[in-house]
Structure 1
Amino acid sequence: MEHIEIVQGYLFGDVKFLDFLVVLIFLDIFFGVIKAWKKKKLRSRTAWFGYVRKIGVFGIIIAANIIDTILGLNGTVAFGTVLFYIGNEILSITENCAELGIKIPSIVTDKLQVIQKEDKEKKGDKNE
């Protein structure tokens, strides 16, 4: 157990809320799989790429920790990176729950619709 703590300290430093991010990632995977199963769109290849992206998040956090260490920023970049991904995971979990029919407050679903509309518009601009 001591070796794990040494490796975690070396790779991630003292990044706060990393454990919370891990829990959110597992919840997002859980609700994402349930949503895909319900919509009959559960595909191993799609799931595989999703898992790889989740692992990539930790790679980015490690890189942020290295930047903090080199520049002597006391974890500022890594902490900001973790907060960004926490927000991203909460958004994804909320979207998955809404698509599963779990009641979400209207103020939240209204914001999600605005975000989804903006994302579609950005993707439309790229295709032109």
Structure 2
Amino acid sequence: MTLGAGRNPSPFFVPQREERKIILLYYKNIKKKGEYIMHDFLSQLKPIREITCLIFGAIGSAITFIFGEWTEGMATLVILMVIDYITGCLVAAVFKNSLKTEGGGLKSSVGYQGLVKKFVELLIVACMYRVDLLLGLDYLRNLCILGFVLNEIISITENAGLMGIPLPAAVTKAIELLNSKSKDEGE
């Protein structure tokens, strides 16, 4: 018996009772095969998932061991580092107004130096955490983080000024004062 045999085929074909059973069995078999295929696929991914969890767990444990607990200060510092790097790249790439290159444009070695500086800042935070542990204190790392956070805020503000974003006079005077003091101490 074929489906719809002896009838006028139409787009509104409604199968009869026997034909419905055949169609339901067909779709149940397809569904079962699809479930088996998905189950086999997911069972093959299980070792990959376990290895990935192991790797990320080890990285997280190492970061916690090196930097201590993940505080709001650390999160703020990392977020501001990313924002500073992005705004610095935008100043050089889009506005061609970077103070660190001759033409003001983007230069990979300058970007690499920026990343290295940020990495060293994080190493200093790690050192302060270890000194805190050694001396039984709980504030050297936080003071270090606070200093770097302020430095990042100043750098982001400078980048905004280089983009042509109008800054309040008090902010520009404060940045000029801090830059002149740092140049005086460097000489």
Shorter-chain TM-score bucket reads 0.7 to 0.9
Letter in 2 for 1:114: L
Larger radius of gyration: 2
Q: Find 1:100's aligned residue among 163, 168, 174.
A: 163
TM-score with structure 1 length normalisation?
A: 0.85
Report Cα offsets for 1:65-114 as digits up to 9, x if no partner: 1101111113x111110000000000000011011111211111121122
Alignment-derived partner of residue 38 in structure 2: none
CA distance in structure 1 between the aligned counterparts of 2:164 and 2:88, rounded to whole angstroms = 13
Q: 1:119 to 1:63 in 2, by over 3 A?
A: closer
CA distance in structure 1 between the aligned counterparts of 2:66 and 2:184, rounded to whole angstroms = 38
Alignment-derived partner of residue 64 in structure 2: 9
Report Cα offsets for 1:5-64 as digits up to 9, x if no partner: 422321111363101111100110011011122224211111111110101111111111
Alignment-derived partner of residue 50 in structure 1: 114
CA distance in structure 1 between the aligned counterparts of 2:144 and 2:176, rounded to whole angstroms = 25
CA distance in structure 2 between the aligned counterparts of 1:100 and 1:2, rounded to whole angstroms = 40
List gaps (5 residues or longer) in structure 1: none
Matches within 5 A, 1:1-128: 1-14=56-69, 16=71, 17-37=73-93, 38-39=95-96, 40-74=104-138, 76-123=139-186, 126=187
Matched pairs, number = 123
What is the aligned-residue RMSD (CA, Å)?
A: 1.7
Q: 1:77 to 1:106 in 2, by over 3 A?
A: same
CA distance in structure 2 between the aligned counterparts of 1:107 and 1:66, rounded to whole angstroms = 37
Paired residues of 1:15 and 1:79 also in contact (CA < 8 A)? no
Say which structure, 1 or 2, has more relative contact order (CA 8 Å, 6+ apart). 1
List gaps (5 residues or longer) in structure 2: 1-55, 97-103
